[in-house]
Amino acid sequence: MNKDLKIYNSLTGQKEIFKPLVPGYVGMYVCGPTVYSNVHLGNVRTFMSFDVIYRYLKFLGYKVRYVRNITDAGHLEDDSQEDKISKKARLEKLEPMEIVQEYTIDFHKVLDLINNQPPNIEPTATGHIIEQIETTKEILNKGYAYESNGSIYFDVVKYNNEIDKYGKLSGRNIEEMIANTRDLEGQDEKRNPQDFALWKKAKPQHIMRWPSPWGNGFPGWHMECTVMSTKYLGEQFDIHGGGMDLKFPHHECEIAQGKTANGIDPVKYWMHANMLTLNGKKMSKSTGNHLLPNEIFSGNNQLLSKAYSPAVVRFFMLQAHYRNMLDLSDEALQAAEKAYKRLMEAIKILPNLSVSGTTSFDVDALIDSFYTAMNDDFNTPVLIANLFEAARHINLIKDGKENITQVDKDKLQKAVNGFAFDVLGLHKAQQETGNNQAFDKTIRFLIDIRNQARTDKNWALSDKVRDELAKFGIQLKDGKNGTTYSFK
């Protein structure tokens, strides 16, 4: 059985055999959400990708400490922007922590529905202001940051010349960064246009602020992850993950901060999940090409023909490798739903298969293919294909066309359940799918009755079906593709 796990390292641009810093133990940090709005599908895909990585590392027997932060302050992507949470609070005339609480709850609910396991530690930026100030002071004292008008900036040019190449993760060079720097508010405070804030002076209208040696202000966006990752995982740890969009500048700045403060590269393996598109285009609220997770689960949207369960959405996302782009569409979700049901049905009948004195296929090779897929940089689409190969054999045994011994059946059942449920996270979804299917079939049966009543011009019966469903919060919608339902 292939036991060498290979991970694609964004820092080196190649797959490497995974060797944790401490044998048997893994420290993993993933950049969490900025909680100023509902979690979007791209975020869900990223967090689900690292959930599978977390699950598989534990499945292999590693003791994993998984840390994922909550950004509840300081998310200032460039000097022209107001902090996102403060801006939302100001527009809605609420306390910033009301915004944080609302969307943190939404974040946790969605990830629970999609069957993600929670991290071991989920620290917040506001809970680590003191540590961020202390790390800023450390970098300042070492001479790689400077104060300007109450703000503290990291000196990128000095770091690049004296410590390490700034841009080594994203493949950018500092000369191009200087040439492409935009003219933003606050640039006149900097020695170099590409310098970034470790601490920002709060303007009078800025709601979220804390006292510091340099006056009232708030931490730069990049500092929180440097502080929280090293506090809970050490000055150097194994895996740092996030979305592809965080590679520059966020993760690039983390490397510079961590290496300056602690004298060592903070992360051994950098991992990045790719984007999710919708109907072949980038998701955008302004164009209407946009879906929230709950809009998919409820069917309350204009882009899909029906509601899809969280189990199906999870299965759909796992059909693409985490480093590849994935396009979501109604057709793709329908195909995923059918495939998911086929796989679950095969797994359901596996325990009841009849056994014989011989096995007509190589069970060990089939199980080995599960490990080989996941050991190749967590290749979930290949694993799913291999699980369907197992499903094919299961159905052939059921039909009397192949044989299996009790020993091999037990081995196969343990492996299939382990990879489908423990690794891919389909266990909760499997438990829910029977009820979901029965509910969906019941509603569609009532829709068919209503449609027939409308054809017969029996408006009283048609209206009664619609109104009775509405009492239970189920809203019918008639369109060119037929009648769909959603939850109020």
Domain-embedded: residue 288: no
Mean pLDDT of 325-335: 97
Model pLDDT, residue 184: 46
471 and 357 share one domain? no
Question: Which of 429, 435, 383, 440 lies closest to 114 in space, CA to CA?
Answer: 429
Q: Which of 121-125, 243-247, 322-326, 444-448 has the lowest mean pLDDT?
A: 444-448
pTM, whole model, 2 decimals?
Answer: 0.86
What's the number of domains the chain is made of?
A: 3
Q: Do 418 and 457 fall within a single domain?
A: no
From 428, 452, 474, the end of a domain falls on: 428
Domain boundary among 209, 243, 273: 273
Region 368-390: mean pLDDT is 98
Which residue among 381, 405, 428 closes a domain?
428
Share of the chain above pLDDT 70, in %: 92
Q: What is the CATH number of the domain that holds 384?
A: 1.10.730
| Residue 202 DSSP code | P
Residues 304 and 449 in one domain: no
Full residue range of the structural domain in which residue 332 is found: 294-428
Summarised one tens digit per residue, pLDDT across range 423-462 is 999 964 444 444 556 777 788 889 989 988 888 899 999 8
- β-pairing, 151-154 vs 145-148, is antiparallel
User: Residue 442 and residue 472: Cα distance in Å, rounded?
Assistant: 13
Contacts of 128 (CB under 8 A, 6+ apart): 224, 227, 228, 231
Query: Which is higher by pLDDT, 428 or 350?
Result: 350
For residues 420 and 440, state if they share a domain: no
Give pLDDT tens digits for 194-233.
Answer: 999 999 999 888 888 999 999 999 999 899 999 999 999 9
